[in-house]
Amino acid sequence: MTLRHTAWPAPGAPGQVLGGVAIGARSGTPDADWPLQHLRAPLLSAGAASLQEVWHTDGPVASGHSDGVHWRRSADVLYGVIELHEAEGAPTSDTSPLQAASQLAYERVFSLLRAQGTPHLWRVWNYLADINGESHGLERYRQFNQGRHTAFVQAQRDTGGQVPAACALGVAAGPLSVAFLAGTTPLVPLENPRQVSAWNYPAQYGPRAPTFSRAALACPRGQEVLFVSGTASIVGHETLHAGDVAAQCVESVRNIGCVVQEANRVARSGRAFSVEGLSHRVYVRHAHDVDTVQRTLQPLLREASVVCVQADICRADLLVEIESQAIHAMPAA
């Protein structure tokens, strides 16, 4: 099986669709018969109101719906999407609707991974409404972190160290949306020596720390995939360059570069990863900043594929976040 990631439709794209994401306006975007996450946020890249990005495989696929998770599998790789309205999470006096929905979504994901024999969660994309808003006495991103953490604990999964690459972004409205890639082989989590690991953040960032690694290497059959989590202008555990979107772009790329160096220390494909060789999705808090963001990133990322999306970042003082990925073939045995 060979895994590929492309824009859709891609001329000559091989094989079967495993799953993907639709970014931007939904008008004219038919529902797919494969797992499709809807990122309900404006696409800021010039000349397009919407874009689909798709994971392809050249092997046969099996698909289904399990307790609200739409999934597809090919050999040792599973892609799935679950969307939950917050009221579906059965909140209690001790849990907010978002916290309960987050816990339920991850419980259902973990149940599917057990059933499919793909226990290793590699990469997760989380989108939720009003991420920086406050309700029930707590910022909504911190409520989400509580629910996710509880699900990890109840599934007897590591909450620090062996955790997936991930992002969590805010959209204007809509359900909690979680998409994921998982597999039969363990990931290699990567951390950034310039940053405190997210799962080890001090208590000032909420009652439960975020459950993700800065990046991860996954190895589907014959390949090595680098997933770089949503990366922002954070050094140690503190935000740098508040109010300066250009400086935050530069700091974010510097952090990605450090993670890429860590990946190259342990990568086995024999081909080094580079910042310019990754594809990047850039989340921009304010649409009017997109020209500055693109102008700042171009000399840093050069000819790399870059898609800009308007979304809120998990901290109110962060103006931009970048996630990245690349796939390398493993040498023949």
Q: Give the lowest-confidence range in 26-35, 76-85, 108-117, 261-270.
A: 26-35
The answer to whether 165 and 228 have CB atoms below 8 angstroms apart is yes
Mean pLDDT of 83-93: 89
Q: What is the pLDDT at residue 27?
A: 46
Please report which residue ranges of the chain form alpha helices under DSSP H.
Answer: 97-116, 140-154, 245-266, 290-301
The single residue listed with the structure tokens 């508040």 is: 242
Q: What is the pLDDT at residue 2?
A: 65
User: SS3 for 187?
Assistant: coil
Q: Which residues pair with 24 in a beta bridge?
A: 50
Mean pLDDT of 32-42: 93
Q: What is the pLDDT at residue 90?
A: 83
> Per residue in 89-137, pLDDT tens?
888 888 999 999 999 999 999 999 999 999 999 999 999 999 999 999 9
Distance CA(226)–CA(235), nearest Å, equals 22
Mean pLDDT of 237-261: 98
Quick check: 159 pLDDT over 50?
A: yes
> What CATH number has the domain bearing residue 323?
3.30.1330.40
Tokens coding 227: 């997933």
**Residue in 236, 239, 217, 237 with CA at minimum distance from that of residue 228:** 217
Mean pLDDT of 304-331: 96
Banded model confidence at residue 48, pLDDT cuts 50, 70, 90: confident
Quick check: 253 pLDDT over 50?
A: yes
* Residues carrying an active site annotation: 321
57 C-beta neighbours (distance < 10 Å), count:
23
C-alpha dihedral, 24 to 86 to 114 to 16, nearest 10°: -20
- Strands (DSSP E) along the chain, which ranges? 3-8, 16-24, 36-39, 50-57, 62-66, 69-74, 77-84, 120-129, 134-135, 138-139, 165-171, 176-183, 188-190, 215-218, 223-231, 234-235, 238-239, 279-284, 306-310, 320-329
Quick check: 13 pLDDT over 70?
A: no
The answer to whether 78 and 84 have CB atoms below 8 angstroms apart is no
Q: What is the pLDDT at residue 5?
A: 72
162 C-beta neighbours (distance < 10 Å), count:
15
- How many folded domains does the chain comprise? 1
Q: What is the pLDDT at residue 30?
A: 56
Distance CA(319)–CA(250), nearest Å, equals 12
Residues constituting the chain: 333
Residue type, 136: H
The answer to whether 223 and 327 have CB atoms below 8 angstroms apart is yes
Strands of the sheet containing 3-8, edge to edge, are 3-8, 50-57, 16-24, 36-39
Percent of the chain with pLDDT over 70: 94
Q: What is the pLDDT at residue 28?
A: 47
Quick check: 40 pLDDT over 50?
A: yes
| Structural domain boundaries, residue 249 | 3-329
**Omega before 9 within 30 of 0, i.e. cis:** yes
**Residue in 297, 295, 315, 307 with CA at minimum distance from that of residue 250:** 297
Q: What is the pLDDT at residue 138?
A: 97
Quick check: 263 pLDDT over 80?
A: yes
C-alpha dihedral, 65 to 69 to 70 to 73, nearest 10°: -90
Q: What is the pLDDT at residue 6?
A: 73
Quick check: 33 pLDDT over 70?
A: yes
User: SS3 for 312?
Assistant: strand
Distance CA(238)–CA(30), nearest Å, equals 42
Residue type, 221: R
Distance CA(179)–CA(38), nearest Å, equals 10
Banded model confidence at residue 333, pLDDT cuts 50, 70, 90: low
- The pTM is what? 0.96
Distance CA(115)–CA(182), nearest Å, equals 12
